[in-house]
Structure 1
Amino acid sequence: MRNVLNALRVLEEVAARQPIGVGELSRVLDLPKSTVQRALVTLDTAGWIRPATGEVTRWVITTKALAVGGSAGGDLGLRGIALPILEDLRRHTGETIHLTIPENGKMVLIERLETDKPVRTSMALGHALPMHASANGKAVLAFTPAEALRPLLRHDLPRYTDTTITDPEALRTELKHIRTRGFAVNNGEWRSDVGAVAAAVLGPDGHPIASLSVNLPIGRLTPDSEPIFGTAVNEAAATISARLT
């Protein structure tokens, strides 16, 4: 059982940090290099990972892993409904669009449509984002029932950049603003060079089940572009929510 758990931990870290090598995985997971190497060989043999192009000592996940992730999203009845709306949003904004779902206290990326612009943000499918430091996470938190929020807002929150909201009361205030205007903004709160504008997708019971976002280099998120992206992403999320009922 321990070998299986170690292999799954290695797979998660490869997905989050790819391309990545044995040494870095060993440090991040606090596992011996020999244990990490055995897990990598097992995952490679099973088709879950492969050597990175031109970097035989570093690893990336395969389409097999992405296919399983896609099936998980499909269980929500979400991706098929969302894809044409995400495509419209990408055409309208000209930026990268993400679809994420809440899972184990994080926002997990299940679909990504890339911008055609040469300077762009990049994130692997399956990557997990912090709830309080991402636009997608804050959009979901804003519509999360109060009792479910209490554990998160009981203590100071982890800081990722100078703009991360770490004070629970400050985050409560931010979530009220998000509910009022209908969209959340990330001004470099998780990665200082990345900005995003997101809106929650609500299920039939009115609770958030996902969020979608416009993602771009922080220099393209301006006081003029922010409300334009916000209106567009809010309308797209509302359309998806309506089609889920």
Structure 2
Amino acid sequence: MKEKKADNDHFLSSVKNALLILRSFTMEEPEKKISEIASTLGLNKSTVSRTMATLASEGFVYKDPETKKYRLGMTILSLSGIIQNNMDIFRESQPVLNKLVRDIDETAHIAILDNTDVIYILKIDCNHYVRALTHVGRKNPVHCTSSGKVLLAYSDESTIQNVIDSGLKMYTNKTIIEPAHFKEHLKKIKKDGFAYSLGEFNEGVNSVAAPIFDYTGKVIAALTVVGPMQRITEEKIRPLAKKVIESSMEISERMGYWR
């Protein structure tokens, strides 16, 4: 019995290591050597090497024969395609986002909440260059992005407290870092039905976001529009918010939401 438990523990540990390794790849670090992965995760090089060999055999990672660096393989892309094709939010939001971007000529995203971060799952670019730290799959902090704040405003108290307890890091001199002020700010967002960020995460970049509801009335995502402060000025926030809310409600109704 003890041997069986030991085997199970070893198997679970190997699976966990494999998942940690896959999650260690980012847009900023898309390629890594065995030694880099081992150092980052605090694992033995031999353990990482064996795990990478297994992942490579199943197409989850690919090793460049010249650089000896690994990157994510085509199996990951295949799996992400399955997720996208089976998520209603992709199907229902894309035509609405396309229309909104054509109308306002600013970049739009769909974002979801992931603990203390937001993840962008869909992005439609406008014709202008936008100096914003966003791309599909990227995680950004929840407390200083318009999408994150609007998602948090409709979350339960424990989720909000978890973000505060994790620390409201200052990214610019406009980032709200005082807990009481932040909580009041979230109450106002829920009352207004939209959130905005005026250079709170990325200096010179402003954004507006509104919630997307599912058929149960639960907020499942946020629609956010982002652009430079020269185009999305403080005076334009409310008129732009009206269009963003209209689009987010259209997506919500496509998802089965009834006002």
TM-score, normalised to structure 1, is 0.79
Q: Name the structure 1 match of 2:60.
A: 48
Amino acid across the alignment from 1:230: A
Alignment of 1:100-179 (within 5 A): 100-121=111-132, 123-146=134-157, 148-153=159-164, 156-179=167-190
Contact 1:69–1:126 (Cα < 8 Å) also in 2: no
Q: Name the structure 2 match of 1:230.
A: 241
Select between 29-38 and 77-86 the one with higher mean Cα deviation.
29-38
Amino acid across the alignment from 1:29: L
Q: Structure 2 vs 1, CA of residues 6 and 205 (structure 1 numbering), >3 Å: closer, same or farther?
A: same
Alignment of 1:1-245 (within 5 A): 1-22=12-33, 25-26=37-38, 28-31=40-43, 36=48, 39-50=51-62, 56=67, 61=72, 64-72=75-83, 75-121=86-132, 123-146=134-157, 148-153=159-164, 156-192=167-203, 194-245=205-256
How far 1:138 moved relative to its partner? 0.6
**C-alpha separation in 1, matches of 2:70 and 2:135:** 13
CA RMSD of aligned residues (A): 3.2
Q: Which blocks of at least 5 consecutive residues in structure 2 are unaligned?
A: 1-11
Amino acid across the alignment from 1:47: G
**C-alpha separation in 1, matches of 2:80 and 2:209:** 21
How far 1:93 moved relative to its partner? 2.3
Q: How many residues align?
A: 243
Amino acid across the alignment from 1:101: I
**C-alpha separation in 1, matches of 2:46 and 2:134:** 29
Task: For residue 17 of structure 1, give the secondary structure of its aligned residue in structure 2.
Answer: coil
1:178-211, Cα deviation, whole Å (9 max, x unpaired)? 2233221223333445432211111233221111
Contact 1:156–1:168 (Cα < 8 Å) also in 2: no
How far 1:84 moved relative to its partner? 0.5
How far 1:147 moved relative to its partner? 5.1
**C-alpha separation in 2, matches of 1:98 and 1:39:** 35
Amino acid across the alignment from 1:130: P
Q: Structure 2 vs 1, CA of residues 64 and 198 (structure 1 numbering), >3 Å: closer, same or farther?
A: farther
Amino acid across the alignment from 2:214: G
**C-alpha separation in 1, matches of 2:71 and 2:202:** 22
Q: Which blocks of at least 5 consecutive residues in structure 1 are unaligned?
A: none
Q: Structure 2 vs 1, CA of residues 31 and 231 (structure 1 numbering), >3 Å: closer, same or farther?
A: farther
**C-alpha separation in 1, matches of 2:96 and 2:170:** 33
Q: Structure 2 vs 1, CA of residues 59 and 239 (structure 1 numbering), >3 Å: closer, same or farther?
A: farther
1:26-77, Cα deviation, whole Å (9 max, x unpaired)? 554344566555555554443334579xx94666545643443354455552
Select between 146-155 and 12-21 the one with higher mean Cα deviation.
146-155
Contact 2:27–2:138 (Cα < 8 Å) also in 1: yes
**C-alpha separation in 1, matches of 2:104 and 2:63:** 35
TM-score, normalised to structure 2, is 0.76
> Higher Cα Rg: structure 1 or 2?
2
Contact 1:107–1:130 (Cα < 8 Å) also in 2: yes
Amino acid across the alignment from 1:123: T
